[in-house]
Chains A and B, each alone.
Chain A
Amino acid sequence: MTKKIIFLVLIILFPFNTYGIIKVDITRGNLDPLPLAVSPLAIDNDSKNEFKKILNMRDIGSEISIIVEKNLRTSGLFNPLDKEAFLQKPDIANLKPRFEDWKLIKAQALITGKVNFIDEKLRVEFRLWDILAGREMMALAFTTVPTNWRRVGHIISDKVYERLTGEKGYFDTRIIYVAEEGPKTQRVKKLAIMDQDGFNNKFLTLGNELVLTPRFNKTSQMVTYLSYFRNLPRVYLLDIETGTQEVVGDFPGMTFAPRFSPDGKKIIMSFAKDGNSDIYTMDLESRVVDRITNHPSIDTSPSYSPDGKFISFNSDRSGYQQIYVMESSGKNVKRISFGKGLYGTPVWSPRGDLIAFTKLHKGKFYIGVMRTDGSGERLLTENFYQEAPSWSPNGRVLIFYRETKTDDEGKGFSAKLWSIDLTGYNEREVKTPTDASDPSWSSLLSN
């Protein structure tokens, strides 16, 4: 993949109005999504023709507003209103909205903007208006290469989300996952990456060998994953910008379940030898390997706390798979899951206060969250099979995969990505071109 770092100039057009009146309560889920209007971004005819030439797109202003609209709707917190009902033209609305008109269609907020083609670049300005208070809440402008137009839509979405909820957004992000095809007994699996909204899907491996569990580095566009290259299952590192791959460490057996440390400098993973799996770390620079657990049980699925001080993992040392937390040195191992059933795949929230997990109880699989001491367990969703939650960078949404039950002939198998809000509301399928599993959410690409 080519290096495509966004060239982004961000100008604050007007001082922030810090006493916003609209406030979206993100803790209540989508019971009462905020009605807002996303006006198509205005564009002059010259710019329109230039973008038509470069991007083969009829109206880039309208397309960007559709991205924003879709992102905000998908979050479950906003209810973008039907554009048919809009009374004001985009260019005039961006200059000075007639607040009474927008009030009439029950919009509480309005997003307007303008697109220009300047010096071979895409320049987008947008404004967020508080309709009830009748004033501007935010105004920003971006300049970037035209091919980055989708990212501009995501960045606008993030800015609006942040302004209205008080929390960082998660729209300018990507998902790395395993694309699956073929019969259940002979699945072909490839690494794939896409924007959070399913666009710009790319396959990163050819499917010649089995690949599993890709995970992003929080600090760079590096990925760690498990590959069965030459039938030797080992943890690999992949630079998704250069395509460079390398095996992590020199272990005389299977390494698996990799994740990065929060500072991106270490890989934590399991190493299986003689029927026993323990947790190890490897420093990517010094190559120093440290053994973190030493127990005859299966210790796997390690995940660091965001401050790097603790590690959560699952182990069957009690006889069954349960979740444990220990210091990053491996000291003071404490079991934290005590509910009925089996618990696995703990992942620490980016906020540090919760651990998301998979639970198996009475033949059903659940995705849930608990506090880091194991208290406050809350199950978000129940299904025939689902596992492997991964957090959105703001810690509000979980993405995971779900498999269907086959019929008596063994037919009807599928694997799909799903997302759910931390509140347990707003469960949605995340559409992928092929079947999909093992999703991992990137951090925000820009801020």
Chain B
Amino acid sequence: MEFNKILKNALLIIFACLALSACATKKAGTGQMQGDVYTGKETIEYLASGVPDRVFFATNESVLTTASRETLRKQAAWLRKNSKINIVLEGHADERGTREYNLALGERRANAAKDYLMTYGVSSDRISVLSYGKERPVDSGSNPLSWSKNRRSVTVKAN
């Protein structure tokens, strides 16, 4: 089981690298996206100093990017230090997909973040997952940049 998890994460990382290298050649246009993953700082809140609360995803994807993994490692380190804090991972999708599929996609994204936190030593019983699908966008725009901000998994303190 444990071996499977590690293998799965290793695969995730490989896929993420592939996805990134594949997208790196595309022009983001706005400078706040790489491929179509949001890389800006707007809407981000901080769980603690230097610990961003959210990670972003490419369209239809739940693969964690290099930046996402870095953010989650910071979250894991902070959670290990603050062992009384439990968290909810809220998974979201953009508005360009059917409602029910997006509920599943939000759940898949939040679980990608959960799996990564677990491999960095955060116990699963401290983490719950809640998908909002496309129901709670953070940016109400109908453009690629707004959508990239909305494709996210947000780590929220549960207590």
Q: Which residues of A contact B (CB under 8 A)?
A: 183-187, 210, 212-213, 226, 231, 233, 253-254, 256-257, 270, 272, 274-277, 298, 300-301, 314, 316, 320-321, 342, 344-345, 358, 360, 363, 384-385, 387-388, 403, 405-406, 408-411, 413, 437-438
Contact = CB atoms under 8 A, between A and B. Distances in A.
A220 B107 CA distance: 32
A153 to B, nearest CB: 34
Given A254-B131, A272-B131, A410-B140, A212 B99 contact: yes
A184 B98 contact: no
B97 interface: yes
Interface string B95-135: 11111110111011011101100000000000001111001
Given A275-B62, A438-B99, 19 more contacts: A212-B99, A233-B131, A256-B104, A272-B103, A272-B107, A300-B100, A316-B60, A342-B97, A344-B101, A345-B98, A345-B100, A384-B142, A388-B98, A403-B95, A405-B142, A408-B141, A410-B139, A410-B146, A411-B140
A344 B140 contact: no
A403 B94 CA distance: 13
A17 to B, nearest CB: 48
A298 B108 contact: yes
A231 B100 CA distance: 17
Contacts of B115: 275
Interface in B71-106: 95-101, 103-105
A24 B129 CA distance: 55
Contact of A388 (B99, B105, B110, B111): B99
A254 B107 contact: yes
Given A301-B100, A344-B101, A405-B142, A187 B135 contact: yes
B125 to A, nearest CB: 13
Contacts of B141: 406, 408-410
B137 interface: yes
B69 interface: no
Given A272-B107, A272-B131, A275-B108, A184 B97 contact: no
Which 6 A-B pairs give the minimum distances between C-beta atoms? A275-B111, A410-B140, A184-B140, A277-B104, A344-B98, A257-B100
Contacts of A405: 142
28 contacts: A185-B136, A185-B139, A185-B140, A210-B132, A213-B99, A233-B131, A254-B130, A256-B104, A257-B103, A272-B131, A275-B107, A275-B114, A277-B104, A300-B100, A300-B104, A301-B100, A314-B98, A316-B101, A321-B97, A321-B98, A345-B98, A358-B98, A360-B96, A360-B97, A363-B96, A408-B143, A410-B142, A413-B142
Given A272-B131, A406-B140, A410-B140, A301 B98 contact: yes
A233 B130 contact: yes
B138 interface: yes
B89 to A, nearest CB: 11
A182 to B, nearest CB: 11
B111 A321 contact: no
Nearest to A274: B111
B100 A213 contact: yes
A403 B96 CA distance: 11
A388 B104 CA distance: 16
Contact of B104 (A298, A385, A406): A298
Contact of B60 (A213, A254, A301, A320): A320
Contacts of A320: 60
Contacts of A403: 95
Contacts of B137: 184-185
A210 B108 contact: no
A233 B103 contact: yes
A226 B100 CA distance: 10
A6 B115 CA distance: 55
B100 A256 contact: yes
- Counting chain A CB atoms within 10 Å of each CB, the highest count among B62, B104, B114 belongs to B104
Contacts of A387: 98-99
B19 to A, nearest CB: 13
Contacts of B138: 185
Nearest to A413: B140
